[in-house]
């Protein structure tokens, strides 16, 4: 009788039929891409899920029918699995992979495979020593368009390559569950380590000759970079090829890879997997209909490629890995082939230089008076006539004292993040930043601040977060479009934070409210005495009013709270007044509705921060719960405000009269909601899509059998339904009118806000002159590619 032998010994590792695979790390990448592909792959069988969050692993195991879950890779052995996909946080990629490779388990590791070239080489050597396959998840290298571009460049079909230019960036962060990708100890770096791993690997593949790093700059201020710039160079017989790579987590960049050749520019775009776009060097043809010259574009692709699912790139990298396991050959995405990009990233960080950004983090402004740092400590912020702070120079009262450690809620937002920058970089104050969505923390993660993830509405979470903090600035609001959720965060969250701050003995609590609580119909001068009249049905105004009341209640119970009601805050990263309206202005889609000559009540974000610092000042006497309107007294009209940008772009804005054009502000209430619901349902019922769906139901057996029988039996019923749904009307095509859906309309309050009380009581004074604020904002608008 033959003796049975374990599978792992019975045949060599490279002769696997169906590989038993473990998934180590069940986060977003695994659940979105790896698991669907592996579960449907005939060459793999999901055997084990490993994750520190056992509840998540068990739920995924239930969904995919996986028999085993565990917390740690020590549960894995060659007797239970043949291969493992490592998609843990990046800090553990090398450590986990080395443990598995040493056991003789094949490894597919997500990018980056390691933080250093030395670690990566150990992984490659360990795989070779144990006769197993190490592959890296750099799927962009396998895309048909990437391989086509490589072939075109190798043959120099459009002449020799001259320059390479890559831009990749956006403001929509990855939907991460934790802050792991925003901490150096877990992520290894910022946007370069994350997005740059894919991009530099692609460039190393496209240009296989040795690459030279010319210069690397990023904007890290003690944390991890959100933006960086890499200058590269490749040798070529006819002269070096210049390379530029710009990456960002805070700006919407071009998001293409361009190779400028002698005869054309070749481009890879993010939405294309099969096409290389060819932008001719001389580029226009005459349109015979109009008689005008028009620019042309063309693209090339492999003749036998066909469009497939977006899962296909992930399938391709697993096919590559499995084929290498079965044949004993090296995979295309081998660990060895990935070493060069790992080494290049490591060299970038080693040679880092600061990146200039047109926002005043690196400006030097001469101070006009002797100042003392706001926290009362001497240091680099002491300034006389020839010294300046790293931000705007600010004349401040001597010996003004701030809390030593300050919690900022809503710290990833426009105001909260700028406050964190100024507190940590200029004032030297310890900042603890409360984060809701880790994916939006890219800009904040640059700073030397402590980031924590917690539930604003949890008393226990707030108790822990407030430990050792003696100051709080509450900026957080609910941003959900669902009224109940937004109200819960803004109102109940404020109530919870204020109660926890009182229990923790916080010395100063600054709450950011809004002039929106006064409503839209106020006129004249707006200050702290203006009645509070939030528009009915306006979730933002009503919830801010209720939140302010919650802070006032906590102040009456003993919390040292200051309530600030800022006007319209603008500056770099302002979505409401800059990032939406200014591009609309550039496109001719900005409209001022009865606003051209009304006060804009705009305040530059740094001047609001100065008011917050004044409110935090521990040696300024204020009554608990005292309220201050924060404004700039020299605020221009809306016409002058947007006219500044219009003049620089050579554009103009539209002007409308609310009455003359029958434009009215939307009103809330259940009747309006029901009316809108009825209109919407009617539009759906009469839409072409609904009619097509009804026809599909009738034509599908057996679901359409009974409805079809009823219509055939009762012809009057069919005629009635066709009339009701307008299905008997002849089809008529009318050219749609130019869409105005993107038009941004500014509807003002006809008031002028004043901050006289804040000047008297808090000694508040705007630090940045209006012309300087507008100049900085315009420079950032161009830097952010908004125009």
Give pLDDT tens digits for 599-642.
Answer: 999 999 999 999 999 999 998 889 999 999 999 988 999 999 99
Q: How confident is the model at residue 422 (pLDDT cuts 50, 70, 90)?
A: very high
Q: What is the mean pLDDT of the chain?
A: 87
Measured between alpha carbons, how far is 49 from 60 in angstroms, rounded to an integer? 8
Mean pLDDT check: name the lowest of 96-100, 371-375, 576-580. Answer: 371-375
Measured between alpha carbons, how far is 20 from 134 in angstroms, rounded to an integer? 16
| Per-residue pLDDT at 250 exceeds 90 | yes
What percent of the chain lies above the pLDDT cut of 70?
Answer: 86
| Per-residue pLDDT at 678 exceeds 90 | no
Q: Average pLDDT in the 563-574 region? A: 97
Mean pLDDT check: name the lowest of 50-54, 123-127, 540-544, 746-750. Answer: 746-750
What does the pLDDT read at residue 479? 84
Q: Average pLDDT in the 754-761 region? A: 95
Q: How confident is the model at residue 248 (pLDDT cuts 50, 70, 90)?
A: very high
The answer to whether the predicted template modeling score (pTM) of the entire model surpasses 0.95 is: no
| Per-residue pLDDT at 398 exceeds 70 | no
What does the pLDDT read at residue 624? 93
Share of the chain residues as helix, strand and coil, in percent rounded to the nearest 5? 40, 20, 40
What does the pLDDT read at residue 728? 61
Which comes out higher in pLDDT, residue 371 or 768? 768
Phi/psi for 539 (5° steps) reads -60, -45
Q: Could you write out the three-class secondary structure of 638-679?
A: HHHHHHHHHHHHCCCCEEECCCCCCCCCCCCCHHHHHHHHHH
What does the pLDDT read at residue 295? 80
Q: How confident is the model at residue 461 (pLDDT cuts 50, 70, 90)?
A: very high
Q: Average pLDDT in the 164-178 region? A: 81
| pLDDT, tens only, 191-223 | 999 999 999 999 999 999 999 999 999 999 999
How is 484-502 classified by DSSP, letter by letter?
HHHHIIIIIHHHHHHHHHH
| Per-residue pLDDT at 2 exceeds 70 | no
| Per-residue pLDDT at 136 exceeds 80 | yes
| Per-residue pLDDT at 62 exceeds 70 | yes
Mean pLDDT check: name the lowest of 459-473, 530-544, 658-672. Answer: 658-672
Which comes out higher in pLDDT, residue 405 or 17? 405
Mean pLDDT check: name the lowest of 350-354, 489-493, 505-509, 536-540. Answer: 536-540
**b/e code 339-350 from CB counts within 10 Å (16+ = b):** bbbbbbbbebbe
Which comes out higher in pLDDT, residue 306 or 740? 306
Cβ neighbours of residue 264 closer than 8 Å, sequence gap 6 or more: 158, 159, 278, 279, 280, 281
Q: Average pLDDT in the 468-493 region? A: 91
What does the pLDDT read at residue 1? 37
């Amino acid at each position: 009788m033959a003796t049975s032998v374990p599978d792992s010994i019975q045949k060599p590792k490279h002769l696997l039929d169906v590989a038993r695979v473990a998934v180590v790390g069940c986060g977003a990448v695994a659940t979105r891409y790896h698991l669907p592909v592996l579960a449907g792959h005939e060459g793999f069988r999901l055997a084990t899920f490993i994750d520190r969050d056992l509840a998540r692993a068990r739920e995924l195991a239930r969904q995919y029918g996986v028999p085993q879950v565990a917390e740690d890779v020590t549960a894995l052995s060659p007797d239970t699995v043949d291969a493992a996909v490592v998609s843990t946080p990046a800090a553990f990629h090398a450590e986990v992979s080395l443990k598995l490779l040493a056991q003789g388990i094949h490894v597919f590791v997500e990018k980056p495979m390691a933080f250093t070239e030395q670690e990566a080489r150990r992984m490659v050597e360990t795989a070779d020593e144990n006769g197993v396959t190490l592959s890296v998840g750099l799927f962009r290298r396998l895309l048909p368009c990437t391989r086509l571009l490589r072939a075109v460049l190798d043959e120099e079909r459009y002449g020799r390559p001259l320059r390479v230019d890559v831009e990749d960036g956006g403001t929509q962060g990855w939907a991460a569950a934790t802050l792991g990708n925003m901490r150096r100890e877990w992520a290894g770096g910022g946007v370069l380590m994350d997005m740059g791993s894919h991009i530099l690997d692609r460039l190393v593949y496209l240009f296989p000759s040795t690459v030279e790093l010319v210069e690397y700059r990023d904007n890290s201020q003690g944390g991890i970079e959100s933006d960086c710039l890499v200058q590269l160079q490749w040798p070529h017989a006819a002269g070096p090829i210049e390379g530029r790579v710009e990456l960002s987590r805070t700006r919407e960049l071009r998001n293409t890879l361009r190779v400028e050749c002698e005869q054309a520019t070749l481009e890879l775009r993010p939405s294309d997997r099969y096409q290389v776009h060819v932008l001719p060097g001389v580029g226009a043809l005459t349109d015979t209909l109009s008689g005008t010259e028009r620019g042309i574009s063309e693209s090339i692709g492999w003749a036998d490629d066909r469009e497939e699912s977006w899962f296909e790139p992930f399938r391709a990298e697993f096919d590559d890995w499995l084929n290498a396991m079965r044949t004993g050959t090296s995979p295309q995405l081998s660990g060895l082939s990935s070493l060069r990009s790992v080494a290049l990233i490591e060299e970038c960080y080693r040679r880092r230089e600061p990146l200039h950004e047109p926002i005043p983090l690196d400006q030097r402004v001469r101070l006009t008076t002797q100042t003392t740092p706001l926290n009362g400590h001497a240091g680099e912020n002491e300034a006389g006539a020839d010294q300046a702070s790293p931000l705007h120079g600010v004349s401040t009262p001597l010996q003004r004292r701030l809390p030593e450690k300050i919690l900022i809620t809503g710290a990833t937002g426009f105001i909260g993040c700028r406050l964190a920058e100024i507190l940590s970089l200029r004032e030297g104050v310890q900042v603890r930043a409360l984060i809701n969505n880790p994916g939006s923390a890219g800009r904040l993660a640059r700073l030397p601040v402590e980031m924590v993830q917690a539930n604003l509405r949890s008393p226990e979470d707030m108790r822990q977060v407030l430990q050792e903090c003696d100051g709080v600035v509450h900026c957080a609001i609910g941003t959900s479009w669902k009224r109940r959720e937004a109200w819960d965060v803004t109102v109940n969250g404020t109530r919870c934070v204020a109660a926890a701050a009182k229990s923790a003995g916080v010395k100063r609590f600054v709450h950011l409210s809004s002039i929106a609580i006064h409503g839209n119909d106020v006129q004249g001068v707006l200050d702290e005495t203006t009645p509070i009249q939030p528009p009915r049905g306006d979730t933002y105004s009503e919830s801010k009013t209720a939140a302010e009341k919650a802070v006032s209640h906590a102040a009456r119970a003993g919390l040292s709270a200051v309530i600030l009601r800022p006007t319209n805050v603008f500056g770099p990263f302002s979505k409401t007044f800059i990032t939406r309206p200014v591009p609309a202005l550039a496109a001719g889609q900005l409209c001022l509705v009865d606003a051209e000559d009304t006060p804009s009540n705009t305040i530059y974000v740094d001047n609001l921060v100065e008011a917050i610092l004044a409110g935090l000042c521990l040696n300024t006497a204020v009554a608990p719960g005292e309220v201050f309107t924060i404004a700039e007294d020299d605020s221009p009209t809306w016409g002058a405000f947007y006219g500044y940008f219009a003049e620089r772009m050579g554009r103009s804005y539209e002007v409308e009269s609310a009455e003359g054009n029958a434009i009215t502000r939307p009103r809330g209430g259940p009747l309006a909601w029901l009316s809108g619901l009825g209109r919407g349902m009617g539009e759906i019922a009469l839409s072409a899509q609904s009619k097509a769906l009804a026809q599909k139901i009738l034509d599908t057996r057996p679901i359409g059998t009974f409805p079809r029988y009823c219509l055939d039996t009762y012809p009057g019923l069919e005629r009635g339904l066709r009339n009701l749904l307008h299905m008997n009307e002849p089809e008529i095509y009318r050219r749609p009118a130019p869409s105005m859906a993107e038009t941004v309309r500014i509807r003002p309050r006809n008031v002028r806000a004043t901050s006289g009380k804040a000047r008297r009581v808090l000694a508040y004074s705007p630090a940045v002159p209006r012309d300087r604020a507008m100049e900085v904002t315009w420079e950032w608008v161009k830097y952010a590619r908004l125009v």
